[in-house]
Amino acid sequence: MKGSVRTAQRHDSALKHVTGQALYIDDIPEPPGTLHAALILSPAACGRLGRLDLSNVETSPGVVGVFSARDIPGHNNIAGPGKLEPLFAHDKVEFAGQALAVVVADTLDAARAAAEQAVIDIEPIEAILDIATALARQAYVQAPSTILRGDPDAALKAAPHCLTAEFSVGGQEHFYLEGQIAFVLPGEDGDLIVHSSTQHPTEVQHVCAEVLGYDFNRVTTVVRRLGGGFGGKESNASWVAAAAALAVAKTRRPVKLRLPRDIDMLATGKRHGFDYHYTVGFDDQGRVLALDAVMAADAGWSLDMTPGVVARALTHVDNAYWLPHVRVVGYACRTNRQSNTAFRGFGGPQGVLVMEDAIDRIARYLGRDANEIRVLNFYGEGRDETPYGQKVDENHLPRCWAEVKKLSGFDQRRAEIDAFNRASPILKRGLGLFPLKFGISFNLPHMNQAGALVHVYTDGSIRLNHGGTEMGQGLFVKVAQVVAEVFNVDLDRIRPSATSTAEVPNTSPTAASTGSDLNGWAAWEAANTIKQRMVAFAAEHFGTAAEDIEFADNQVRIAKPGSNQVVSFGELARLCWLGRVSLSATGFYKTPKIHWDGAAMRGRPFFYFSFGAAAAEVVIDTLTGESRVLRADLVQDCGASLNPAIDHGQIEGAFVQGQGWLTCEELWWDKQGRLRTVGPSTYKIPGSRDVPPVFNVKMLENAPSREATIFRSKAIGEPPLLLATAVWTALKDAIGAVVDHKTAVRLDAPATPERVLAAIVKLRK
Ligand code: MTE
Ligand code: MOS
């Protein structure tokens, strides 16, 4: 059989992706009468919305209608029960880029031209435009949350040494290649089919229904694929779809809303930027005794997914390290900016930076090697409980660390680079190592569930549907491999189909890297149900015991004393149909063992941990501050990988995306709070030439998950993004070389040339 689990299989759409034949939403043929939509956005960051005069918009050529808050038949709420975030601002605007109305016209150009005709009067209110101001005014979107263990105050007082430091890290634009898009078709009685580029079809269904005052059963969300999501289409896709749905409800015509890049960047949330302040206490060896840290996230104007992001930042502050006494306080600062949201890593990348910074400072202070101090503080025997109470099981840190040091030839290169730096006054090189521990599962236990629907047809071909969405990460091929494995048939017998709320209802978003963990098991359950029915039928039909029926290599073998029989899988399916056996089944899975007390911030939020380690080498130009990543060596724990080809790509892509976040991707708002980096000309994502020229990726071998994950695999979507932390550490190392590593380096991220240069100038003073 071809394509079983644990083999390298190409992405099911790989050829279609590279030949342009993959159908994205904008490629779906438009029925006659389709209207095109454009958004009208707030030009100001904060104020009272005095007058919204849309008469010029309405009379613009080609315009069919323009709809604002007062046209919403249901609730002007996109945030779900108990929360309130308006689809369209009505009395107050809270960031520059907030949606005020949607206009629909016969052509896309007509709609976009009309949107510019709106007359908008906003009476300004003083905006909060940074984290510091929000902290000073105690402007939060939720109450501060704290993880506390032991007595950090007493431990810091008693510690032989203490250091206090602060730094900050910026946000990140998702820059999915396909912008946010929804194409909504009206059906009988105004029921809706919503084609949405969303990671969360069920939320799109709910939000459209909420805005229109519909029952959920009148809205069907369909998603064949996304041109990238990265967390940016978890909540943001919903309001885009709702705006289109509103226009459909009003016009009874199909409506397509596709945001152009600048509008997409202005209107949708990003990765949370963070400000940090911490004190770390340690002994003469560099063993950490206590950590007292504050992490303040820029939530933007509304709650969105900030609670989860802050919780993940807090639960990842320990990363690889045992912290006996710890207090971490997370603030969710309300600012008049885009509402920040999920982004690959979901607060984890921001959380792990604290200890990496602290350890570099401890090492400088003690005159020791930072990597020895890292190892000294690793989780280990008797030092294996996280600050939130979960045990660190199956600790692969020492293995990943040893392997990455070997893979990168670390010790030898350390010596070479030190020699290079002594001889090179202008260019300086730096090395960084990073150990990783990342928790897998949604922090909210109820979200860890999934469903699937499998049909076997009478020719033996199989249709697979589940609640997960395909955004390029290879979920569909992995889940198809699971089904192929159950029936023991070739992978190409299985046809993954578009995710649809009509086929599998009440789903969780495809996020938190859990896609294949959850949907893989759900599909396994569905396929296995059908298989058991087929086995029972075959046993009866051929007059033998169930144990004597074997599915192997696209066939079914019926072992009988003296006369073995073989039928093809399709033939048995046909016989089952003649015998009136159902060849369709649902499957359901919920992650075991997890629990979480959100008030106490304690529990076992994660089914398991994924581990990794990275080594990065950079070079900086001390005259310009420019930097390059010269080499990266990565070791990543994938458990027993379901598909090493897909996982390899995920590791590479995630690392480079993390590299972009920490180095070149800079969001910039002007003094009025308007985002001015709204396209690739001003917002620099890594290009092909930023990929490290030497890039070694290795998956940890012989490391099947100890927990009962699907075929003992582990999630891969997010953890490797954090490996890029090694680049940040390497940059600090290169900057430190300017003064022979005598002083600690503060390097805020993104470490743009300006910031690198400023750090050098400060060191030299
Ligand atoms: N890979 C590609 N190509 N495109 C994406 O949008 N999203 C990432 C990751 N890898 C993404 C990706 C994010 S944020 C997550 S949470 C996971 O994929 C989600 O998919 P999974 O759970 O199936 O791994
Ligand atoms: Mo990923 S940030 O969990 O969509």
What is the C-alpha to C-alpha distance for residues 264 and 240, in angstroms, rounded to an integer? 10
Does the pLDDT at position 82 exceed 80?
no
Average pLDDT over residues 234-263: 98
Average pLDDT over residues 409-430: 98
Does the pLDDT at position 81 exceed 80?
no
Mutation choice for ligand 1 from 174, 230, 656, CB with most ligand atoms inside 8 A: 230
Does the pLDDT at position 111 exceed 90?
yes
pLDDT in tens, 505-537: 999 999 999 999 999 999 999 999 999 999 999
Q: Which atom of ligand 2 is nearest to the CA of 717?
A: 1
pLDDT in tens, 664-714: 999 999 999 999 999 999 999 999 999 999 999 999 999 999 999 999 999
pLDDT above 70: percentage of residues in the chain: 100
Ligand nearest to the Cα of 225, by number: 1
Structure tokens at 309: 């992001």
Residues with CB under 6 A from ligand 1: 228-231, 344, 471-473, 475, 510-516, 650, 653, 715, 717-718
**Protein residue whose Cα sits closest to atom 18 of ligand 1:** 717
pLDDT in tens, 617-676: 999 999 999 999 999 999 999 999 999 999 999 999 999 999 999 999 999 999 999 999
Q: Would you place residue 445 in the very low, low, confident or very high pLDDT band (cuts 50, 70, 90)? A: very high
What is the C-alpha to C-alpha distance for residues 4 and 586, in angstroms, rounded to an integer? 21
Tokens 């009003």 — which residue?
A: 250
**Protein residue whose Cα sits closest to atom 8 of ligand 1:** 230
Does the pLDDT at position 163 exceed 80?
yes
Q: Which atom of ligand 2 is nearest to the CA of 510?
A: 4
Q: Is 96 helix (H, G, I), strand (E, B) or coil?
A: coil
pLDDT in tens, 721-748: 999 999 999 999 999 999 999 999 999 9
Ligand nearest to the Cα of 499, by number: 1
DSSP 402-444: HHHHHHHTHHHHHHHHHHHHHH-SSEEEEEEEEEEEEEES-SS
pLDDT above 90: percentage of residues in the chain: 98
Q: Which atom of ligand 2 is nearest to the CA of 345?
A: 2
Q: How far, in Å, is the centroid of ligand 2 from the Cα of 234?
A: 7
What is the C-alpha to C-alpha distance for residues 370 and 364, in angstroms, rounded to an integer? 8
Which amino acid is located at 392 in the chain? Answer: V
DSSP 302-327: S-TTHHHHHHHHHTTSSTTB--SEEE
Q: Would you place residue 84 in the very low, low, confident or very high pLDDT band (cuts 50, 70, 90)? A: confident
- Catalytic site residue 718? yes
Q: Is 138 helix (H, G, I), strand (E, B) or coil?
A: coil
pLDDT value of position 83: 81
Q: How far, in Å, is the centroid of ligand 2 from the Cα of 174?
A: 11
- Classify residue 236 by its DSSP letter: H
Helix axes 725-736, 753-764, angle to 10 degrees: 40
- Would the pTM of this model clear 0.85, i.e. be above it? yes
The upper half-sphere exposure of residue 469, i.e. CA atoms within 13 Å in the direction of its Cβ, equals 33
Q: How far, in Å, is the centroid of ligand 1 from the Cα of 230?
A: 6
**Is the CB of residue 757 less than 8 Å from the CB of residue 745?**
no
**Protein residue whose Cα sits closest to atom 4 of ligand 2:** 231
Mutation choice for ligand 1 from 177, 312, 344, 507, CB with most ligand atoms inside 8 A: 344
pLDDT value of position 561: 81
Tokens 């997890």 — which residue?
A: 594
Contacts (Cβ under 8 Å, ≥6 apart) of 418 = none
344 lines ligand 2 (CB under 6 A): yes
Does the pLDDT at position 9 exceed 90?
yes
Contacts (Cβ under 8 Å, ≥6 apart) of 317 = 147, 291, 293, 295, 323, 326, 328, 351, 352, 354, 355, 387
Does the pLDDT at position 348 exceed 90?
yes
Q: Would you place residue 1 in the very low, low, confident or very high pLDDT band (cuts 50, 70, 90)? A: confident
Average pLDDT over residues 446-454: 98
Q: Which atom of ligand 2 is nearest to the CA of 233?
A: 4
Ligand nearest to the Cα of 232, by number: 2
pLDDT value of position 162: 98
Q: Which atom of ligand 1 is nearest to the CA of 517?
A: 22
Mutation choice for ligand 2 from 223, 234, 716, CB with most ligand atoms inside 8 A: 234
Q: Are strands 627-636 and 608-621 parallel, antiparallel or unpaired?
A: antiparallel
Q: How far, in Å, is the centroid of ligand 2 from the Cα of 513?
A: 7
- Compute the residue count for the chain: 765
Q: Are strands 462-466 and 494-496 parallel, antiparallel or unpaired?
A: parallel
For the chain, the C-alpha Rg in angstroms (whole number) is: 27
pLDDT value of position 80: 75
Q: Look at residues 197, 211, 192 and name the one whose alpha carbon lies nearest to residue 79.
A: 211
Q: Look at residues 641, 469, 514, 503 and name the one whose alpha carbon lies nearest to residue 6.
A: 641
- Over the chain, what is the mean pLDDT? 97
Selecting among 234, 485, 665, 718, the annotated active-site residue is: 718
In 63-212, alpha helices (H)? 108-115, 131-136, 152-158, 201-212
pLDDT value of position 563: 81
Q: How far, in Å, is the centroid of ligand 2 from the Cα of 650?
A: 13
- Is 56 buried (19+), middle (13-18) or exposed (0-12) by CB count in 10 A? middle
pLDDT in tens, 453-492: 999 999 999 999 999 999 999 999 999 999 999 999 999 9
Average pLDDT over residues 134-140: 98
Does the pLDDT at position 243 exceed 90?
yes
Does the pLDDT at position 300 exceed 90?
yes
Q: Are strands 47-53 and 63-68 parallel, antiparallel or unpaired?
A: unpaired
Ligand nearest to the Cα of 654, by number: 1
